[in-house]
Amino acid sequence: MTRSGILSRLLSVYGLLFFAFIYAPILLIVVFSFNANPVNMMIWDGFTLDWYRTIFGFPSRLTESTLYVESTRQLYAAVRNSLLVALVASSVSTIFGTAIALAVARYRFRLRSFYRAFMFMPMIMPDIVLGIALLIFFVSLGAQLSIYTIMIGHCTFLISYVFIVVSARIADMDDKLEEASADLGANPWQTFRRVTLPLILPGVVGGGLLAFIISMDDLVITYFIAGVDSTTLPVFIYGMLRRGIKPEINAIATIMLVFSILVASAGLYLRARRK
């Protein structure tokens, strides 16, 4: 075998190992979410849907055991909180992130480049720092921690993500188009509605979906600023884990995974269709 043949074979092995490294744990979770063994998840004991039945509140082998603590209602509350937070925070962030991206791209003002750099800050900042900072901020304002503080907190960094995605889209757009629109008699609002918005829409939708997923997924920052009765799904799972890893966590994780993949594919599909 030639040298380059060996090298290319090594490269494919490396590639396979790389994907295994990334996806094997995720795959394991999906597999174990169907494992019937209630005590040791690592030992395959046959196929079951019990864990899914449990989290949806149906009677199952687990719910009949004496040790079982009913938590379906809390789980639902957490899911509802998460969805609500993600929906509100990503909507607000999409509007503001898009507005800032347009302003930075279209208007010359003082500190413009500073502003642009500043928009990246929340992304670079460690979550834990942001979480503590937000906590101190809310406490010093005398605000009660609640689902609203989570929404506000999420907005602070989600705006950055939307800003970046939308900015990339604007950079791709021919800025003569807006001039052409004005030239043809469209006032600034008409230009925005008829030219700018339709052309950046894929970026806006993409940014919004990204923000939604990131919000759904956030643990660290939310952990600091969540009120007692406003647990989100990641915080709830984290709480369950502290009581020991239970098989239904695998089922929850699998459902979250499927949900994320659906949202992301919707985003990709929309983007592909626009082109």
Partner 1 sequence: MEATSAMVASRKTQETEADPDHPVLEIRHAKKRFATPEGQEVVALDDVSITVARNEFLTLLGPSGCGKTTLLRVVSGFEDLDGGEILIDRQDIARQPAYRRPVNTVFQTYALFPHLSVARNVAYSLEVARVDPAEIRRRVGEMLELVGLAGFGDRRINQLSGGQQQRVALARALVARPKILLLDEPLSALDKGLRDKMQQELKALQHELGISFVFVTHDQEEALTMSDRVAVLGHGKLQQIGRPQELYRAPRNVFVARFVGESNLFPATVTQSDPAGIALRLSDGQEVRLPASTGNVLMVGAKVRLMARPEDARPATGKNNAGGLRFQGRIKQVFFVGAHYKILVHTQAHGTLKASLPAGEDLGSTPAPGQAVELHFPPATLHVLLDEEAGR
Q: Does 194 bind partner 1 (CB under 8 A)?
A: yes
Per rule CB under 8 A, count of chain residues that contact partner 1 = 19
Q: Does 30 bind partner 1 (CB under 8 A)?
A: no
Sign of CA pseudo-dihedral 239, 25, 161, 258: negative
Of the ranges 26-34, 58-66, 101-109, 181-189, which one interacts with partner 1 (CB under 8 A)?
181-189
Question: Chain centroid to CA 33: how far?
Answer: 22
In the complex, the smallest distance separating the C-beta of residue 164 from partner 1, rounded to whole angstroms, is 23
The rounded distance, in Å, linking the Cα atoms of 209 and 214 is: 9
The rounded distance, in Å, linking the Cα atoms of 46 and 42 is: 12
Give 193's DSSP letter: I
Q: Does 112 bind partner 1 (CB under 8 A)?
A: no
Tokens representing 24 are: 């094997």
Pick 95 or 201: Cβ nearer partner 1: 201
Residue from 111, 183, 228, 272 that binds partner 1 (CB under 8 A)?
Answer: 183
Q: Does 177 bind partner 1 (CB under 8 A)?
A: yes
Residue from 125, 164, 186, 263 that binds partner 1 (CB under 8 A)?
Answer: 186
Of the ranges 15-23, 63-71, 176-184, 241-249, which one interacts with partner 1 (CB under 8 A)?
176-184
Question: Chain centroid to CA 44: how far?
Answer: 31
| Nearest of 89, 93, 57 to residue 73 by alpha carbon | 57
Sign of CA pseudo-dihedral 94, 157, 252, 75: negative
Site residues (vs partner 1, CB under 8 A): 174, 176-177, 179-188, 190-191, 194-195, 198-199
